[in-house]
Amino acid sequence: KSENGNEYAVTLICDLTKYLVAIPIANKSAKTVAKAIFESFILKYGPMKTFITDMGTEYKNSIITDLCKYLKIKNITSTAHHHQTVGVVERSHRTLNEYIRSYISTDKTDWDVWLQYFVYCFNTTQSMVHNYCPYELVFGRT
């Protein structure tokens, strides 16, 4: 748990550009997750066309279902034990965890303070998939 009370991060990644958004949250309740997605992603970038998630209860609930229905977002759930469906997100988690292990304090209570710096590093690193950095693909400049 961080000094700011955060214990988790919601991560969203564009399947095409690999652009990453990570939002520190205190708990994984449906209300907390939906609020984080709405305020930190949808209000900035607009609703996504498709929302692919794992089977976590923080995503499989009426709040997320209603949010997707209201905003006309196609909500897809990966099958259990088949993480390839959300493989891009899983790989981004590995990268973020490497950054966190390398750069945060030894007591690990400041990870959320540095999270946006790590996301920036991720988004401005050239992708091997398309030879552009995600930031450049989303915003058209480096």
Q: Can you give the residue ranges of every domain in the chain?
A: 8-139
Q: In the structure encoding, which two tokens stand for residue 14, read together?
A: 């564009």
- N- to C-terminal Cα separation, the chain: 34
Please give the Cα distance from 11 to 13 (Å, whole number). 7
Quote the CATH superfamily of domain 8-139: Ribonuclease H-like superfamily/Ribonuclease H (3.30.420.10)
Local confidence band at 85 (pLDDT 50, 70, 90 cut-offs)? low
45-71 residue pLDDT tens: 999 999 988 888 899 999 999 999 999
Local confidence band at 137 (pLDDT 50, 70, 90 cut-offs)? very high
Q: What are the backbone angles phi and psi of residue 125, rounded to the nearest 5°?
A: -100, 130
Residue 83 confidence (pLDDT) above 60: no
Residue 133 confidence (pLDDT) above 80: yes
99-116 residue pLDDT tens: 888 888 788 889 999 999
1-38 residue pLDDT tens: 999 999 999 999 998 899 999 999 999 999 999 999 99
Nearest CA among 114, 116, 122 for reference residue 94: 122
pTM equals: 0.87
